[in-house]
Amino acid sequence: MAPISIRGLTKRYGNVLAVNNLSLEAIQGEILGFLGLNGAGKTTTIRILLDLLRPSSGNAFILGHDCQRDGLQARANIGYLPGEMGIYSDLTGREVLDLLAGLSGHVINVSRRRELQERLEFPESDLRRRLREYSTGMKRKLGLIQAFQSDPLLLILDEPTEGLDPLMQESFYKLLVDAKQHGRTVFMSSHVLSEVERVCDRIALVRKGELVLLSSMEELHKLAARTVRVLFSEDVPSPRSWKLKVEGPLGPLLQTIATLPVHDIEIEEPKLEDVILKYYRGGHQ
Amino acid sequence: MRSAAFLFAYSLKRVRTLILTTGLLLAGLQLVLIFVAGSIQSSGGFDQLAALIPPFARQLLGPSVVTFMSFSGIVCLGYFELAVMGALIALAVTLATVPASEVEIGIMDLILARPLARHWIITRTVVLTTLVSAFMLALMVAGTWVGLELFAPAGIAWPSSKLINSLAINLGMLTLCWGGVAMAIGAASSRRSVAGGAAGLLALATFLLDYVARLWQPAEKIAWLSPFRYYNPFDLITGNTLPYRNLLVLGSIALAGFAAAYALFARRDISH
């Protein structure tokens, strides 16, 4: 049973198509990056999964439960981090965590919460402070704790590292890896390509509401062109230095230059950014 | 169900200061009114005040004005004084638009991302608005009886408990009616200010309609549209029994508002 299954999902606001016939599946135990420019339909898709928005057509399923018809079951085992943590600013951090755990119907797992606090460097004294005194980063950390605290089977995270400093981003990545090792599935939207490249197993890329790419990171690297610089010891070929973009295996190139007086060869790893930016711009067509 | 109970407890906790402050102010106002009425009564002021009203004004305003110029009349004033009615309706509107406020702030995203059915949001709001309205009226009634015990001059006739209860019930239903209207508007809105403002403006417009219709005959034809038409404190003070039709109309508007709120909130997109 797929943790997330989206079939022909469309969301229309009047004449505007926010999501257009989107279909994708998450695999259990993977970290699926959900990428796209602002307004591409990432948050709309996430909100449909949570039944905050109703689709114009199509279906979305979480752990086999229809997000709209069987929403309670669908949301019974998820941790959600919204893009913006909208919450009453007069509440303390602890009150927020207790409230959200209580609404989940889960018994508060104190040791789990403490572990998350430690890993995200969020001391008890901060939990006693009111949210109006929190910085953006502290709110984000609190959001992560509330999403992870019930150890859900599926984590839906909307721009999770927005506002986190580099050290906290590291801690967050470790949390993701741990969650994955425990068989949890993570569905996260992100703008940060380096983060996606580092933690995600697969990416789903949306543009103007449509899925334009669904690929594993390995496959994605194959799509990217490598830059090969060849320096010759003599002026036999002209010019003496070549800079080549190579898509696919390097074998044919190496065979070609094998007979030439190669002085040095430098292969630059493909950049994920190049591929993704190409898809963002629609250049893949 | 456990999540819903948790939501209700949390919501009650959030508004407890507002409820207690408003309740104590309203109950306190009853004490002040009775103290003032007792002072006027002791100094024989009611007879002098009644004598000041010219005959044509008595004829125009009817016997209720004379009844109002009495100890009992001033005691009952706390149930139809504009500020009291305004405070109760404002409180009901505030509570009824809690869902709109939660959507606006964004906490609704986190609430509904939990395994909690949407109807609980409205059920919580209906229960909260109804309980708080009843509690406010109960405090006012308690304030009235405490005030009478403390400040009523000896030998003066107190208003009957039937009259006080009738006023309280009718006013409570009027409050609930506006709670229902505000809830219906709030269930479809993403801004509390918009929902509360719309409900408040509607209340003001219908209050003025009722007021104008009492003075200007042509407006009488559409005055039935105003919920305030179904709250006639002067009729009750002059000894008439509480018309059940009034309660039925106000209760029906409240129920229609609640039903509309359930339907609208169930279907809407939650976006802020």
User: What is the total count of domains within chain A?
Assistant: 3
The CA distance from A99 to A104, in Å, is: 9
Mean residue pLDDT of chain A comes to 90
Strands ordered across the beta sheet of A262-268? A241-246, A226-232, A262-268
| pLDDT tens for each residue of B20-53 | 999 999 999 999 999 999 998 888 887 777 777 7
B contacts of A105 (beta carbons < 8 Å): 2-3, 6, 114-115
Domain annotation covers residue B272: no
Q: Are residues A27 and A65 in the same domain?
A: yes
| pLDDT tens for each residue of A34-93 | 998 888 999 999 999 999 999 999 999 999 999 999 999 999 999 999 998 888 999 999
> Would you call B266 exposed, middle or buried from its count of C-beta atoms within 10 A (0-12, 13-18, 19+)?
middle
- pLDDT at position B66 is 65
Confidence category of residue A285, pLDDT binned at 50, 70, 90: very low
Share of chain A above pLDDT 70, in %: 98
Look at residues A152, A169, A191 and tell me which one is the last residue of a structural domain: A152
Walk along chain B (272 residues) in steps of 10 and give the mean pLDDT of each run: 87 94 96 93 80 71 68 90 95 97 95 94 97 97 96 90 95 97 96 96 95 87 94 87 94 98 95 80
- pLDDT at position A139 is 94
Q: Are residues A69 and A159 in the same domain?
A: yes
Q: Are residues A70 and A204 in the same domain?
A: yes
Q: Are residues A69 and A192 in the same domain?
A: yes
Domain annotation covers residue B46: yes
For A106, name the nearest residue in chain B, comparing CA atoms only.
Answer: B3
Domain annotation covers residue A278: no
Beta-carbon separation of B10 and A99 below 8 A: yes
Q: Are residues A73 and A158 in the same domain?
A: yes
Given a contact cutoff of 8 angstroms between Cβ atoms, the answer to whether A244 and A73 are in contact is no
**In this structure, what token pair is assigned to residue A254?**
């190496």
Domain annotation covers residue B159: yes
Domain annotation covers residue A276: no
- pLDDT at position B63 is 61
- pLDDT at position B132 is 97
The CA distance from B72 to B51, in Å, is: 18
Residue A224 has phi, psi (to 5 degrees) of -80, 145
Q: Are residues A157 and A146 in the same domain?
A: no
User: What is the total count of domains within chain B?
Assistant: 1
- What CATH number does the domain containing A13 carry? 3.40.50.300
Quote the domain boundaries for residue A238. Answer: 225-269
Domain annotation covers residue A25: yes
Given a contact cutoff of 8 angstroms between Cβ atoms, the answer to whether A36 and A205 are in contact is yes
Helix-helix angle B2-42:A93-104, to 10 degrees: 120
Output the CA–CA distances (angstroms, integers) from residue A55 to A13, A51, A138, A171, A234, in the order listed. Answer: 10, 9, 33, 35, 65
| pLDDT tens for each residue of A114-150 | 999 999 999 999 999 999 999 999 999 999 999 999 9
Burial per residue of B139-154, b for 16 or more beta-carbon CB atoms within 10 angstroms, e otherwise: bbbebbeebbeebbee
A contacts of B3 (beta carbons < 8 Å): 102-105
The CA distance from A60 to A56, in Å, is: 12
Q: Are residues A68 and A159 in the same domain?
A: yes
Cis-peptide into B227, omega within 30 deg: no
B115 vs A75, A84, A100: nearest CB:
A75
Q: Are residues A144 and A6 in the same domain?
A: no
Q: Are residues A114 and A5 in the same domain?
A: no
Domain annotation covers residue A8: yes
B106 vs A78, A86, A100: nearest CB:
A86
Report CA B128 to chain centroid distance, whole Å. Answer: 14
Given a contact cutoff of 8 angstroms between Cβ atoms, the answer to whether B141 and B53 are in contact is no
Confidence category of residue A9, pLDDT binned at 50, 70, 90: very high
Beta-carbon separation of A82 and B106 below 8 A: yes
Quote the domain boundaries for residue B197. Answer: 2-267
Domain annotation covers residue A277: no
Output the CA–CA distances (angstroms, integers) from residue B209 to B24, B49, B65, B163, B213, in the order listed. Answer: 31, 29, 21, 26, 6
Beta-carbon separation of A75 and B113 below 8 A: yes
- pLDDT at position B60 is 61
The CA distance from B146 to A182, in Å, is: 64
Q: Are residues A54 and A173 in the same domain?
A: yes
Output the CA–CA distances (angstroms, integers) from residue B133 to B95, B137, B207, in the order listed. Answer: 10, 6, 19
- pLDDT at position A269 is 75
**In this structure, what token pair is assigned to residue A138?**
């502290």
Q: Are residues A11 and A69 in the same domain?
A: yes
- pLDDT at position B140 is 97
Q: Are residues A233 and A93 in the same domain?
A: no
Does residue A100 carry a pLDDT above 50? Answer: yes
**In this structure, what token pair is assigned to residue A279?**
């898809």
Domain annotation covers residue B178: yes
**In this structure, what token pair is assigned to residue B64?**
């209720």
For A73, name the nearest residue in chain B, comparing CA atoms only.
Answer: B115
Confidence category of residue A105, pLDDT binned at 50, 70, 90: confident
